[in-house]
């Protein structure tokens, strides 16, 4: 028995892919029966069991220009860096107290230009998808 609501309830670009991997790993090692416990609608869970889930997910990402068709930089800074971030295009910020979460969507070519600028600002946290 698996319970994946915790994976899907946290906003993340790859939550659906992680849930798909989670249930398929569990299903691969299940001896006889495999159960999924969830508070989500049955149709949502069944979507992850479809044979074409990965193809559909890849097509959705292509349409929305999400990774692997673009790159997303997630960085966390102190609010003191607000002014310095203005020189970087396509920045979306979200404030949390004295911290600021920064999302930057770039194409693969722009990543080589933008990532060094972000690194030079010494983020508290840095992830690239």
Report domain extents, the chain: 2-63, 71-128
| Nearby residues of 110 by Cβ (< 8 Å), 6 or more positions away | 71
> What pLDDT score was predicted for residue 75?
98
Which sign, positive or negative, has the C-alpha torsion 53, 16, 111, 63?
positive
Question: What is this structure's pTM?
Answer: 0.76
CATH topology of domain 71-128: Alpha-Beta Plaits (3.30.70)
pLDDT 10s digits, 44-100: 899 999 999 999 999 999 999 999 999 999 999 999 999 999 999 999 999 999 999
């Amino acid at each position: 028995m698996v319970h994946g609501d915790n994976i899907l309830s946290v906003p993340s670009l790859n939550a659906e892919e992680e849930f798909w991997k989670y249930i398929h790993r569990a299903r691969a090692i299940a001896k006889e029966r495999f159960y999924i416990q969830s508070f989500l609608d049955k149709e949502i869970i069944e979507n992850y069991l479809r044979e074409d889930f990965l193809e559909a997910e890849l097509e959705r990402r292509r349409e929305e220009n999400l990774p692997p068709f673009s790159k997303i930089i997630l960085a966390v800074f102190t609010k003191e860096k607000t002014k310095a971030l203005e020189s970087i295009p396509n920045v979306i910020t979200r404030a949390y107290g004295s911290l600021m979460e920064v999302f930057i969507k770039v194409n693969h070519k722009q990543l080589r230009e933008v990532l060094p600028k972000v690194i030079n600002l010494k983020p508290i946290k840095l992830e690239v998808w």
